[in-house]
Amino acid sequence: MPANSPNVDVVRLDAATVASANRSTYTPKTLPAAFFQTAGTDAGIYGVGSSPEPVVDRQIKPTALPMRTPPSAPVVPYRVGVGDVLLLSSPDAGNTVEELSGLLAAQNRRQGYTVQDDGAIAVPDVGRIKVAGLTLEEAEAQVFQRLISSQMDPSFSLEVSEFNSKRVSVGGAVSKPAVVPITLVSLTLEEALAAAGGISTRDEDYTLIRLYRDGELYEVPLTEYLKRPGVQKTRLAAGDSIFVDTTFELEDAQAFFTEQIALATYKQDAQIHALNQMNSAMNLRRNALEEARSNFLSRLELDSVDRDFVYLTGEVKTPSRFP
């Protein structure tokens, strides 16, 4: 660069010029911003987001199960009811075919007489006979009187072929939920459960036998039921409902914890994915900074960067310039 260039000031080097230079307000040029930046942490948001809502309710084991034993139903004679099917049979069919033709034909075909909604059965050639609410002995007496009134041989026997009027329902944790009829013999709690295939549970400690009767609820833990023969022999009444309730479902509990493990695994995988995303973003920024710095140093070596220099010449060993 020529000495008379407007960009060059030729200054005599002496004490005064040195002191003036030291008092100069010159501000040196700064390095590019890439030399002051770091990859740092990612400013973006990388997270798992909202986790799926659990679909299985948590099962909490009860600390104790309630105990309220049901009273046994009283022992009473069976009374015919609506829906029962009665069979009338004659001990001597040969002598009464003509007189009881309709009745004996029904018997020979094993057809019974259903107690209808009005509480009566309809016997051919005899008419309707009211039997609902009567014991078998009382019903036989009623039929006997009607046969006498119809001038027919009253030699017959009466039996119930289908018990439909008095039943007990059994459901819940049993093998085969069922409606169990009460017959001429009292039905016990043990027999009703057996008729439903028995209790089916994997955890006896948290199983309740509930009995609903006339608006009252009775509860017996299965462990107590198995230890008390008297409870097992509890006589049931018509209309009783038995429900075997597993207050703590092992399968539901296992499903809940399996789901919780799956949710935790999902969150962990999502966090790992978020960290990988953040590391990738940081690596990209780090590479960009290193490239910018390398480019600047290359330009600096090639003297393509605008810089301020001080030139030293004259009576010196090696004239040169200094940035």
- Together in a domain, 172 and 139: no
Nearest Cα residue to 245 out of 276, 218, 266, 263: 218
The amino acid occupying position 207 is T
Number of folded domains that form the chain: 3
| Reported confidence tier of residue 48, pLDDT bands at 50, 70, 90 | low
Looking up residue 230, the CATH number of its domain turns out to be 3.10.560.10
Return d(Cα 209, Cα 73) in angstroms, integer: 17
Spatial neighbors of 285 by CB under 8 A, at least 6 apart, are: 39, 40
Q: Which of 89-103, 151-165, 227-241, 245-259 tops mean pLDDT?
A: 227-241
- Together in a domain, 92 and 154: yes
Is 202 inside a domain boundary?
yes
- Is residue 295 within 8 A of residue 49, CB to CB? The reply is no
Number of continuous H segments (helices) and E segments (strands) in the chain: 7, 12
Is 78 inside a domain boundary?
no
Specify the pairing of strand 310-312 against strand 157-162.
Answer: unpaired
Is 314 inside a domain boundary?
no
CA distances, 51 to each of 54, 60, 273 (Å): 9, 23, 15
| Reported confidence tier of residue 79, pLDDT bands at 50, 70, 90 | very high
- Together in a domain, 181 and 148: no
The amino acid occupying position 175 is S
Domain coverage including residue 144? 85-162
Is 320 inside a domain boundary?
no
| Reported confidence tier of residue 129, pLDDT bands at 50, 70, 90 | very high
Q: Does pLDDT of 147 surpass 50? A: yes
Is 61 inside a domain boundary?
no
- Together in a domain, 171 and 146: no
Looking up residue 153, the CATH number of its domain turns out to be 3.30.1950.10
Which of 111-115, 122-126, 196-200, 261-265 bottoms out in mean pLDDT, i.e. has the lowest? Answer: 261-265
Q: Does pLDDT of 54 surpass 50? A: yes
Q: What is the DSSP string of 273-311?
A: HHHHHHHHHHHHHHHHHHHHHHHHHHHHHTT-S----EE
At 131, list the tokens. Answer: 């039997």
Is 67 inside a domain boundary?
no
Return d(Cα 276, Cα 272) in angstroms, integer: 6
Give the DSSP H/E element, type plus range, for residue 143.
helix 136-149
At 119, list the tokens. Answer: 């509480």
Nearest Cα residue to 243 out of 205, 214, 207: 207
pLDDT attached to residue 80: 95
Return d(Cα 318, Cα 215) in angstroms, integer: 117
- Together in a domain, 144 and 197: no
Residues 280-298: tens digit of each pLDDT: 888 888 888 888 888 878 8
